Amino acid sequence: MLSLDDAMDFVPTVPTYAIRINGYGRMNWDYEKFKLQESGLWVAVNEYVFDDIDKGVFTGLRPGEGKAIDEETANRVVSDFIPYHKTVQALLVHCMRGKNRSSGLLLGMNDVFGLGVDREKFLCEKRLLWEMDVNQLVYEKIVESGKRLIVP
Strand spans (E) along 37-122:
42-49, 53-54, 57-58, 90-94
Nearest to 137 by CA among 114, 117, 108, 111: 108
Cα(40)–Cα(149) distance, rounded to whole angstroms? 29
pLDDT value at residue 60: 59
pLDDT value at residue 127: 74
Q: 0.75 cut: is pTM over it?
A: yes
Averaged pLDDT, groups of 10, the chain, 152 residues long: 89 97 77 88 95 65 73 97 94 85 91 86 70 80 93 59
Under 8 Å between Cβ of 84 and 113? no
pLDDT value at residue 129: 64
pLDDT value at residue 51: 82
Cα(120)–Cα(138) distance, rounded to whole angstroms? 18
Q: In what order do the strands lie in the sheet with 42-49?
A: 42-49, 16-22, 90-94
pLDDT value at residue 33: 81
pLDDT value at residue 3: 84
